[in-house]
Structures are given as structure tokens and as C-alpha cells.
């Protein structure tokens, strides 16, 4: 993993920091695992804008990712590590022994030619292997964690993300999540050993506004410059500070807790995430 700082031969390249893509082994995706991706531009079936700041962007095709890792006991070989425009992490193409091909989210240190497997019995604790939390040793760095058995990975899936298995008690395992939250998850839930790849993603610098447009993001209007009719922080003579930060609907932001006190999953959270 590395990043490259470009020579400033154009204004847009002056502060640009790009990914070195050292881990990427091919630029041609597997055709059988591609799906079309429709863009709405933030508009509904009447053509009216219902979501602001969305539109444009480069055409993309979705890569079908195996988040469930339900092909258990069948070893697979990592054929290539690829870029995925739909996520910050890299993805790995697996060739299973029975001939099937699948994409998974690549873990840091996953190499071409390496064998990976998922299952409940006799699975070694090696990078890229998926197994229930009940079979993983304490202190292991994990990612792509299920919240409910069979649901598929929902937690710690983005670039560089990882969680840590802290303890087990009864049918629950305690894990420390990337947000700093410590919570209990059913020990039957699957997790993958290792941190997610492309940890250098946080070091990238766009360099110019046009790159946001390529990603399908349109310019965002700051609430402070709006009129009072459009936002609680709008209005005022001259350059007003905007008052207390809050959302368009008037909910306080930056520190105000919006999580419901009666939410049923509160009992599984041992320690809240950091402020």
C-alpha cells in the first residue's frame, strides 16, 4: 500500500495525492459478476429533485460481492485483487475448487495464489478466512462482521476498517467496533480474519472540485448562506455566524444524541461510541 504525490504540472494536480494501487493485480473485472447500475440523479419518477446534491458522475457497473460467505468447506484460490468503484476497499476474485467464481472484500495482506476458506469447523485463523465468532481466538483483528446469523457482513467493511474480538459469554461475543463502540453480537455470526484492505484511502486528496463531480456529487450549499425560509441557520445581516449548528429540520447537530433511549438493541451495547 502506498500513495503518490503528483508533480504540480496543472493547478488540479498541485495538492493531488493518488493511490499507488500496488495491491491491484488486474484492471479487467469478471464479466459474470457484473450488474448494471442505474442512476437517478436524485430525482423521482416525476423528474422532480427529491435528494439534493446528487447527479452526473462516471458510468459504473456494480460488482456482485459475496458478503454471506455461505460456500462453506470449499477452498478457494485468490485469482486477483481488483479496484471497485462502488466501495473504498479493494475486492478479491476467488476461484473455488468446484469452478465457481465469487468476489469478496479483500483483507489487508491478501495475496494472489493464497487459499481461503469459510466454515464452522477446522478453519485456520488466517487472513481472508471466514468463521463464526465462537471459533475465533480472543484479540484477533476481524472485519466484515454479521449482525445476525446468515444476514451477511454489515460491519467493518470500508477501507482500513477492523474490529477486535474482546470476550465471549454464553451465546454472545463482545467486539470492539471501528467507531469505538463495544457491543455484544451472537457468537454464531460470521466474521473474516484481518483488517480491510486499502488503509491508505484516508490519505488521498482530490486536488480539484471536478473529482467530486466525477463521483456523482453536485455542489453543496452551506446552510449559513441560505435564507431563513430554507434553513434554521440561514438569514441575518451581513455574514452571520448561523447560531447553534442544527439540521434543516431543526435537530441540533455536533454532539446532540439522536439515538432513541427505548431502542431494543440498546441492551447489546456495552460502551457507546466516542463523541
How would you class 101 by CB atoms within 10 Å of its CB: exposed for 0-12, middle for 13-18, buried for 19 or more?
middle
Residue 1 has pLDDT above 90, yes or no: no
pTM of the model: 0.92
Of 115, 74, 72, nearest to 92 (Cα)? 115
Of 231, 235, 234, 236, nearest to 250 (Cα)? 231
Q: Which tens digit of pLDDT belongs to each residue from 53-88? A: 999 999 999 999 999 999 999 999 999 999 999 999
| Count of Cβ atoms closer than 10 Å to residue 106 Cβ | 27
**Per-residue confidence at 103, pLDDT binned at 50, 70, 90?**
very high
Thinking of the domain 3-202, which architecture would CATH place it in? Answer: Beta Barrel (2.40)
Cell 435564507 sits at which residue? Answer: 227
Residue 160 has pLDDT above 90, yes or no: yes
Q: Which tens digit of pLDDT belongs to each residue from 180-232? A: 999 999 999 999 999 999 999 999 999 999 999 999 999 999 999 999 999 99
Residue 235 has pLDDT above 80, yes or no: yes
Residue 2 has pLDDT above 90, yes or no: no
| Nearest-angstrom CA–CA distance, 110 and 128 | 7
| pLDDT for res 274 | 76
Give ∠ CA 127-137-142 in degrees, rounded to 5: 40
Cell 477492523 sits at which residue? Answer: 162
| Count of Cβ atoms closer than 10 Å to residue 250 Cβ | 9
Q: Work out the percent of the chain whose per-residue pLDDT is above 70.
A: 99
Q: Which tens digit of pLDDT belongs to each residue from 21-40? A: 999 999 999 999 999 999 99
Of 60, 62, 56, nearest to 212 (Cα)? 56
Amino acid at each position: 500500500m502506498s500513495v503518490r504525490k503528483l508533480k504540480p504540472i496543472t493547478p488540479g494536480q498541485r495538492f493531488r495525492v493518488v493511490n499507488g494501487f500496488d495491491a491491484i493485480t488486474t484492471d479487467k473485472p469478471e464479466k459474470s459478476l457484473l450488474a448494471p447500475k442505474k442512476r437517478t440523479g436524485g430525482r423521482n419518477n416525476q423528474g422532480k429533485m427529491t435528494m439534493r446534491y446528487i447527479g452526473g458522475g462516471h458510468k459504473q457497473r456494480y460488482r456482485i460481492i459475496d458478503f454471506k460467505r455461505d460456500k462453506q468447506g470449499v477452498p478457494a484460490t485468490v485469482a486477483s485483487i481488483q479496484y471497485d468503484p462502488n466501495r473504498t476497499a479493494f475486492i478479491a476474485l476467488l476461484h473455488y475448487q468446484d469452478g465457481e467464481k465469487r468476489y469478496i472484500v479483500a483483507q489487508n495482506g491478501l495475496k494472489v495464489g493464497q487459499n481461503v476458506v469459510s466454515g464452522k469447523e477446522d478453519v485456520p485463523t488466517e487472513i481472508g478466512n471466514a468463521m463464526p465468532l465462537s471459533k475465533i481466538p480472543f484479540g484477533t483483528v476481524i472485519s466484515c462482521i454479521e449482525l445476525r446469523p446468515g444476514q451477511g457482513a454489515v460491519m467493518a467493511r470500508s477501507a482500513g476498517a477492523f474490529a477486535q474480538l474482546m470476550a465471549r459469554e454464553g451465546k454472545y461475543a463482545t467486539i470492539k467496533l471501528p467507531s469505538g463502540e463495544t457491543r455484544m453480537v451472537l457468537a454464531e455470526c460470521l466474521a473474516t480474519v484481518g483488517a480491510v484492505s486499502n488503509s491508505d484511502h484516508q490519505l488521498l486528496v482530490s486536488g480539484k472540485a471536478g473529482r467530486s463531480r466525477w463521483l456523482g456529487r453536485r455542489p453543496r450549499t452551506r446552510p449559513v448562506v441560505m435564507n431563513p425560509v430554507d434553513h434554521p441557520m440561514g438569514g441575518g445581516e451581513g455574514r452571520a455566524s448561523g447560531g447553534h449548528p442544527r439540521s434543516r429540520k431543526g435537530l441540533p447537530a455536533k454532539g446532540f444524541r439522536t439515538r432513541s433511549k427505548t431502542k431494543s438493541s440498546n441492551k447489546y451495547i456495552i460502551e457507546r461510541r466516542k463523541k
